[in-house]
Structure 1
Amino acid sequence: MPRLILMIPWLLLATGSCLLPIAAVRSARGDEKVHVGLDDAPDGIACLDYAHSYMWPYNTGIDAVRVAIESRTIVYDDVAGTATTYYLGASCKSEDTYGVRKDYSENGFKPGANTLFYDPNYDFTWIIGGRSSVIFRRKLDPQEYREVDGDTMDNWGELRLQLRSAVSAYAIPADRFKPAMRATEAGHAIVSQTEISDPTTGLRAVIEYPVKTMNVSRDGFPDNSGQSVWQIDTGPVGVPDLSKRYTPAIRAFSLGFVATISRHPTAADFVLEQLTPLPPPNDAVRVLHYSKPFSLRAKNRLLGIPPPPQ
């Protein structure tokens, strides 16, 4: 059976469906110091270094593509005792790959000539994990938005992951203001891990993502009579619906944004991309848009990553 190839600094791993022996992985890397973050991640990474981690969904001699990882979501099935990691790749546009249709003579620079981007164009991104994938294409026709593949091996070949651990990561209290403020002002990268669960299904998930937008109110908000507070608003991330079991499991995922706040560290708010009607009188028309925000009970962890020494 084809196997997932996992690249981690100083160690090449080939994994099947079993969990990695995390302690052994860290020992083999020569990286035995205390790690903050997840200690039971299937890929052996406590906190991902998003600046240097990639997935190679297409990995053939004809076409191999390296895609930056935007976020990862680990889904734990506490009934079965299993865990699966899903990776959200960076977005791109539909393109004439390698310029097969492109004319580089003078005619190719005239208005209306073919370019490396298709017209009409669409946005393209994907979530991959557990030998399966869901592709999101934001086309003019929203009915073609989602494409689920239960086994990517037949179409794409062997998935390769280049994962790097944020070995210098340190914990930031998610319920306090000053530590997060200091990390923000110092220019440290911040990674958040938001854990959600559904006790009815026995499913839970940890959504890990680099914090791209951080609001900080030193004097209190909405005025200086309030307490100092920070708020995270970041996306896209892969958000699974844990309220029921899907087949394949990756069908549970949507693209979303997540917001958390230091005043309420046991909650997280989400808004998902979905078909959304236009306001009346045009409500018969539906477009892909982020809508219907909702709140979930959650456990939030923050991790800081200092810049490398210069």
Structure 2
Amino acid sequence: MTIPDFARSFLTFRIDLHLKPSLTASHKPPFTVNNARIQIEARCKISDRISGKAQTFVLGAACKTEYVGVDRGMWTQPNADFCIILSTDSFFILKSWDRNNKGVPRYPASLGEQPERQSGLVRDTYERVSIDVRTCSAQQLESAQAIIQATLANEPLVGACRFCLHDRYDIEIDFPIKTMNANEREWIYQVDTGPILFPDMSADCPNWINSFHLAYVAFNRADWAEFILQAPTPLNESLSVNHYSRIMTMTTQNTVFQARYDQCE
């Protein structure tokens, strides 16, 4: 049995302004080439029972908007949180400023305002992308006692949640378990980790990449999970921010694996 080795898994996107103009930047890039290597936070595989086709998406670790390679003044102002989701042919960028609808222009200004959720085809935007998911042998932990013992021994853990949408789409979400609660007296554990990828539950189309939300997941049993999704969250009548506030609860198949780093690829 193998699982993703998230500590050694990366996505990379390459921008070369001599070959393709920038479509996602909010400033003029200081240089014409950049390879952005980002650690993979989570993976989501969606399989269609009718067509037999499957799509895989990966979530890159969050970073901040920046001027790459300058001597001073590296952070853009106003600054945004930046996350990218990639498949082999599509991308989805999530940007969050101090409030929604900030109105930050793209570069060049003729492209209009910078969207908070921007998707497109890799071939139109990047010179190339790569997704390198390394794998590692693993042992499935079958009981709460086994999970708790591995947790307290500081073993590396990976989680998987599986569920079905519309009796057609099988969803599998894989992620490193960064936070785990463990009670060795009553043998209770609880995963609380993220961010992960969570698809829109109402989606029923092949363009899944537009449907994703960032989420955290909690579970303490094999058949139930609760997710909290990032969504525009009102502060008052005229102001909202992106915050983890939308709760989804559902029947799932949850698995905890212990990674075996002596048998990694």
TM over 0.5: yes
Is 1:299 aligned to 2:257, yes or no?
no
Q: Aligned residue for 2:153?
A: 186
Pairing 1:1-310 to 2, within 5 Å after superposition: 35=1, 46-58=2-14, 60=16, 62-99=33-70, 102-103=71-72, 115-143=73-101, 144-149=115-120, 151-167=121-137, 169-173=138-142, 176-200=143-167, 202-220=168-186, 228-246=187-205, 248-262=207-221, 265-278=222-235, 282-308=236-262
- Is 1:268–1:297's contact at 8 Å kept on the other side of the alignment? yes
Q: Distance in 2 between matches of 1:72 and 1:57?
A: 17
- Using structure 2 for the length normalisation, give the TM-score: 0.83
Q: Which amino acid aligns with 2:225?
A: A
Distance 2:48 2:15 in 1: 30
Cα drift, residue 166 of structure 1: 0.8
**Contact 1:59–1:159 (CA under 8 A) maintained in structure 2:** no
Give the CA deviation at 1:307.
4.9
- One-letter code aligned to 1:182: Q
Per-residue deviation, 1:217: 1.3
Higher strand fraction (1 or 2): 2
Q: Deviations over 1:215-237 (max 9, x none)?
A: 011223xxxxxxx2100011100
SS in 2 for 1:97: coil
Q: CA deviation at 1:59?
A: 6.0
Residue pair 1:197, 1:242 contacting (<8 A) in 2 also:
no
Cα RMSD of the aligned pairs, angstroms, is 1.9
Q: Which secondary structure does the structure 2 equivalent of 1:183 belong to? A: helix
Q: Is the 8 A contact 1:59 1:160 kept in 2?
A: no
Amino acid at match of 1:277: P
Q: Match for 1:177: what amino acid?
A: A
SS of equivalent to 2:76: coil
* Structure 1 residue 145 displacement after superposition: 1.7
Distance 1:70 1:194 in 2: 15
Kept after mapping to 1: 8 A contact 2:43/2:197:
yes
Q: Which runs of 4+ in 1 moved over 6 A?
A: none
Equivalent pair of 2:230/2:246 in contact (CA under 8 Å) = no
* Consecutive unaligned residues in structure 1, runs of 5 or more: 1-34, 36-45, 104-114, 221-227
Q: Is contact 2:228–2:244 with CA below 8 Å preserved after alignment?
A: yes
Q: Which amino acid aligns with 1:180?
A: I
| Cα shift readout 1:60-104 (whole Å, capped 9, x = no counterpart) | 5821111100010001111111111100001110101111xx45x
Superimposed CA distance per residue, residues 183-233 of structure 1 (whole angstroms, 9 cap, x where no aligned partner): 112211100110021234x1121000000000011223xxxxxxx210001
Residue 141 of structure 1, CA deviation: 4.5
> TM-score, normalising length from structure 1?
0.71
Q: How many equivalent pairs are there?
A: 235
